[in-house]
């Protein structure tokens, strides 16, 4: 059970950092550990990964090489302008609502907002809250299907 929860945590970190896969895949671990524990471990992993990405984004924004690249590449400049405008206008609640889309691979959105935003704790909390709700709803749905099929 401990190994399952560790893997759920690492998968949560991975989906925030590098894996462009839906977080709901972690619910396969509910076969080896309680579903609520898998959801909590994956949510904590998602929070830790998103928080780390926001600090990495803040660090990268300050690098002269990245600033030069942004100044030379008009697509990157436009993407960051749109991202910054979106973050300033809507903030963490918009990220929360965006990440509630079931099966949405949210790695790209987290990276864009990490580079464009400046509030790592609020964005990491929004990411984790959306992950917890998505996982809970998916788990309840899978549990309901299993109960229905057992009749």
Residue 40: predicted pLDDT: 92
Residue numbers of the chain with a pLDDT score lower than 50: none
The C-alpha atoms of residue 24 and residue 102 are separated, in whole angstroms, by: 8
Residue 105: predicted pLDDT: 67
Residue 64: predicted pLDDT: 86
Structure confidence by residue, pLDDT tens digits, 37-62: 989 999 999 999 988 888 887 787 78
Residue 41: predicted pLDDT: 93
Give φ, ψ of 91 to 5 degrees: 70, -160
Which residues form the domain of 73? 2-150
Residue 97: predicted pLDDT: 82
The C-alpha atoms of residue 144 and residue 107 are separated, in whole angstroms, by: 29
Buried/exposed code over 22-49 (b: 16+ C-beta within 10 A; e: otherwise): bbbebbebbeebebebbbbbbbbbbbbb
Task: Please give the angle made by the CA atoms of 68, 74 and 79, to the nearest 5 degrees.
Answer: 100
The model carries a pTM of: 0.81
Q: How many domains does the chain contain in total?
A: 1
What letter would DSSP give residue 100?
A: T
């Amino acid at each position: 059970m401990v190994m399952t929860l560790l893997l759920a945590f690492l998968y949560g970190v991975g989906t925030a950092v590098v894996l462009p896969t839906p977080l709901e895949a972690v619910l396969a671990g509910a076969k080896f550990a309680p579903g609520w524990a898998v959801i909590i471990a994956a949510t904590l992993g998602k929070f830790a990964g998103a928080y780390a990405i926001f600090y990495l984004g803040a660090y990268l924004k300050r690098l002269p090489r990245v600033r030069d690249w942004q100044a030379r590449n008009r697509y990157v400049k436009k993407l960051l302008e749109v991202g910054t405008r979106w973050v300033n206008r809507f903030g963490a609640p918009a990220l929360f609502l965006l990440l509630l889309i079931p099966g949405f691979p949210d790695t790209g959105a987290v990276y864009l907002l990490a580079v464009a935003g400046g509030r790592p704790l609020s964005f990491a909390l929004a990411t984790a809250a959306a992950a917890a709700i998505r996982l809970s709803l998916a788990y309840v749905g899978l549990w309901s299907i299993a109960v229905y099929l057992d009749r």
